[in-house]
Amino acid sequence: MTALSEWAAPTAGAVCTSHPCTYVHVHSYIMGVRLYTCQSCGSRASLVDLEPSDVPRHRGVVTMRKEPRVTTRPAVSKQGQRDPGRRDRLVDVAVEVIAERGVAGATHRAVAEAAGVPLGSTTYYFKSLEDLHAEAITRHAANIFGVFQARLEGVRSREQLLDSLVDLVIEDLTGDKRGLVVTIELYALATRKAAFFDIADDWVRVTQALFELHMDEEAAQAVNALIEGIVIHSALSSTHITSQHLRRQLEQLVPNASFSPSRATVPSTPVSEQLVAARAAAQDQG
């Protein structure tokens, strides 16, 4: 991942150290974490917002204060005017259909029937079935980030952090069987399709950056990998890790010297809205 140097212009983005004349644009703003892509080399990086009183750099991460501009498509059809929330409901329903039938079973017809709308609604609001699937899995990822936000918010000690991570894994990530199916579908699709790789890449970068608010980089990488591995293992095996075993592993990965209290600001906009809006803006720009 290419590092980012100092800001060239607050509204334009940052400068890639490999291409100092090229602006890097914001493609997502999630839970106080901004994800950037260099327009020249395609390198991606994540940055974290800190309290205004903090120093400009935190573990080598550049900070930015200004919110990126997000654009949305206006509803122009009579159909959209009569039911402005239909598109959003279709995305939510698609998440449920994927959880029930997998991506292969989440056809236009299946989603329309589950939503109780005409078949033409899905083809009207989404350019392709893959677009519908991508938005649904993005919505799922946004919901998961909201869970991360709730679990990690307010952590001020190593013991609180370990407790929160155990609850996150046991209750939220592996305990939600329907959500687990959607997560595994994302992992599988990310290996074959670029759009889903980007969603998965955002997932890994955001969770990594969030963990680094509470521990050093090396510990955060280890914890992130451990949790992803446990999630995959829980979907493939009838035996599951216990809370006690997980906590012992986390204690080894996050020693006292690695822990640091969070100094991140809590974004006022719900993470689900941030991620969905960012993805919609990226599609508009594309």
pLDDT band at 41 (very low <50, low <70, confident <90, very high): low
Task: Please give, one letter per residue, the 3-state secondary structure of 145-214.
Answer: HHHHHHHHCCCCCHHHHHHHHHHHHHHHHCCCHHHHHHHHHHHHHHCCCHHHHHHHHHHHHHHHHHHCCC
Q: What is the pLDDT of residue 279?
A: 56
Question: Which of the residue ranges 64-68, 213-217, 263-267 would you say has the lowest mean pLDDT?
Answer: 64-68
The dihedrals phi and psi of 91, each to the nearest 5 degrees, come to -65, -45
Q: Are 75 and 52 in contact (CB under 8 A)?
A: no
Q: What is the pLDDT of residue 262?
A: 64
Q: What is the pLDDT of residue 237?
A: 87
The top-scoring range by mean pLDDT among 18-22, 176-180, 248-252 is 248-252
Residue 112: how many CB atoms within 10 A of its CB?
20
**Higher local confidence (pLDDT), 52 or 26:** 26
Residue intervals in the chain for CATH 1.10.357.10:
150-266
Would the pLDDT of 189 be above 80?
Answer: yes
The H helix count followed by the E strand count for the chain is 11, 7
**Higher local confidence (pLDDT), 144 or 261:** 144
**Higher local confidence (pLDDT), 17 or 199:** 199
Percent of residues, the chain, with pLDDT higher than 70? 63
273 closest CA partner among 27, 29, 26: 29
Would the pLDDT of 243 be above 60?
Answer: yes
pLDDT of 99-133, one tens digit each? 999 999 999 999 999 999 999 999 999 999 999 99
Percent of residues, the chain, with pLDDT higher than 90? 51
**Higher local confidence (pLDDT), 285 or 93:** 93
pLDDT of 203-215, one tens digit each? 999 899 889 989 9
Q: What is the pLDDT of residue 25?
A: 44
Mean pLDDT for the chain overall: 75
Question: Which of the residue ranges 64-68, 130-134, 276-280 would you say has the lowest mean pLDDT?
Answer: 64-68
pLDDT band at 149 (very low <50, low <70, confident <90, very high): confident
Q: What is the pLDDT of residue 62?
A: 30
User: Which residues contact residue 5 at a Cβ distance below 8 angstroms, ignoring those fewer than 6 apart?
Assistant: 14, 15, 16, 17, 20, 62
Do strands 44-48 and 57-58 pair parallel, antiparallel, or not at all (unpaired)?
A: unpaired
13, β-bridge pairs: 9
Amino acid (1-letter code) at residue 156: R
Q: Which residue has the tokens 């050093």?
A: 216
User: Which residues contact residue 230 at a Cβ distance below 8 angstroms, ignoring those fewer than 6 apart?
Assistant: 169, 173, 174, 241, 246
Q: Are 203 and 185 in contact (CB under 8 A)?
A: no
Q: What is the mean pLDDT of residues 211-229?
A: 94
Q: Rounded CA gap, 93 and 137, in Å?
A: 11
Q: Rounded CA gap, 182 and 139, in Å?
A: 11
Fold of 150-266: Tetracycline Repressor; domain 2 (1.10.357)
**Higher local confidence (pLDDT), 145 or 16:** 145
pLDDT of 153-171, one tens digit each? 888 899 999 999 999 999 9
Helix H or strand E encompassing 133: helix 129-152
